[in-house]
Amino acid sequence: MAGRTPEGKFYLYRDLVELELIKAEFTRGLGRIGMRNDLTLTIRNHSPFESTQMLMLVPYYYGHVKPEDITDETPYSEGDSFWTGGYLRAGQDSEATFCFKPLASGTIGLVLGYPDGTLFGHTYIEVSDTIGSYDDYLRNDSYYELTPGKVVYHVCMKDNPEATIPQGKPDENIYLMANIGEIGCEPQAKKDWLEEAIDYLTALPEKGGDGTYMITKELTMDVEPGKSYYVASAFVQFLSDDPNDSDQIVSANKYEVFTVDETGIVHVIREVNDSDPYYDLQGRRLQGQPSRKGLYIRNGKKVIKSH
């Protein structure tokens, strides 16, 4: 509130509102680990004036402890605070929605307040053990190689060493997908791996962490000169058992496009490593570097060995 005193002095102070946090619920999203959800709070304003200040929410992760069993001695970890705009009508219940990505499952304590540290309410919410999105926890290192008349797609998913992988389980409908196709067409080569994907992701919290835990697959397709193609790979989970329901979550997605020139060779845009293999013009893989002078294929490019 702002104004001037009878003496003409300017004053400014904040009205102290009496707020009560009524409930919290996920109103969009599945409330799963690693995926963004809309978390909506119902807040009752007992004051005779409205509040338009920013609101701050701080999550506290207690693990699998029932809210009624939580005491001052219960271990917890504090998450990063986040904010949203708030318009809380005087004498009414209002809603404020935050974008929330849980970092762990179980009971989460939510403390609501203003960014200046004034706190006025808390509640609890439960988060599923199922990991919703793996985008933060995996890297898609898949790449493709061109040999005469053929593309080989090397599918490779690795744990992200920069991420803290939560204790969680994969959805039972998740699978690893790889596609190859001509631009503008449905995939002509397609492969899904369900059991292998679930086994890999189930062990991810225990075996991941240093960037070496991986799952690798291969997919091959014939290609023709003068045409453009795509390769794609991802972890995909359908949210319904209905085959006609297209609602799904896609994690660690990678999509690349290439064109085969009239010689049948495409320039593959990716960094060359010393370990990348050589092929002869018949598409046969060589052991190590070529020992003779001549024309070879490496990473889909023609290379000349001159010594």
Q: What is the pLDDT of residues 248-307, one digit of tens each?
A: 889 999 999 888 876 655 544 443 445 566 666 555 667 666 766 666 666 555 555 544
**How would DSSP label each residue in 134-162?**
-TTTEEE--EEEEETTEEEEEEEEEE-TT
Average pLDDT, the chain: 85
Residue 193 reports pLDDT greater than 90: yes
Nearest CA among 233, 169, 179, 234 for reference residue 201:
169
Same domain, 184 and 208: yes
Question: Which residues on adjacent β-strands are paired with residue 140?
Answer: 157
Same domain, 114 and 167: no
Residue type for position 47: S
Domain count along the chain: 2
Supply the CATH number for residue 93's domain: 2.60.40.10
Residue 131 reports pLDDT greater than 80: yes
Residue 23 reports pLDDT greater than 60: yes
Provide the pLDDT for residue 222.
95
**161 domain residue, yes or no:** yes
Residue type for position 299: N
Cα–Cα distance, 203 to 159 (Å, whole number): 11
Give the helix, strand, coil percentages of the chain, each rounded to 5.
5, 50, 45
Q: What is the pLDDT of residues 36-72, one digit of tens each?
A: 999 999 999 998 888 888 999 999 999 999 999 999 9
- What is the residue range of 109's domain? 11-127
Cα–Cα distance, 188 to 3 (Å, whole number): 72
Same domain, 155 and 103: no
Of 83, 107, 127, the last residue of a domain is: 127
Cα–Cα distance, 297 to 161 (Å, whole number): 33
Same domain, 144 and 179: yes
What tokens does 137 get?
A: 């926890």
Angle at 117 between CA 114 and CA 119, to 5 degrees: 65
Alpha-helix runs per DSSP H in 156-265: 195-207
Q: What is the pLDDT of residues 216-243, one digit of tens each?
A: 999 999 999 888 899 999 999 987 665 5
Same domain, 87 and 165: no
C-alpha atoms less than 13 angstroms from C-alpha of 15 in its C-beta half-sphere: 15
Q: What's the Rg (C-alpha) of the chain?
A: 28
CA 298 to chain CA centroid, nearest Å: 33
Same domain, 122 and 182: no
Supply the CATH number for residue 243's domain: 2.60.40
Q: Which residue in this structure is represented by tokens 């209905």? A: 242
Q: What is the pLDDT of residues 76-112, one digit of tens each?
A: 999 999 999 888 999 999 999 999 999 999 999 999 9
Residue type for position 53: Q
Cα–Cα distance, 268 to 23 (Å, whole number): 54
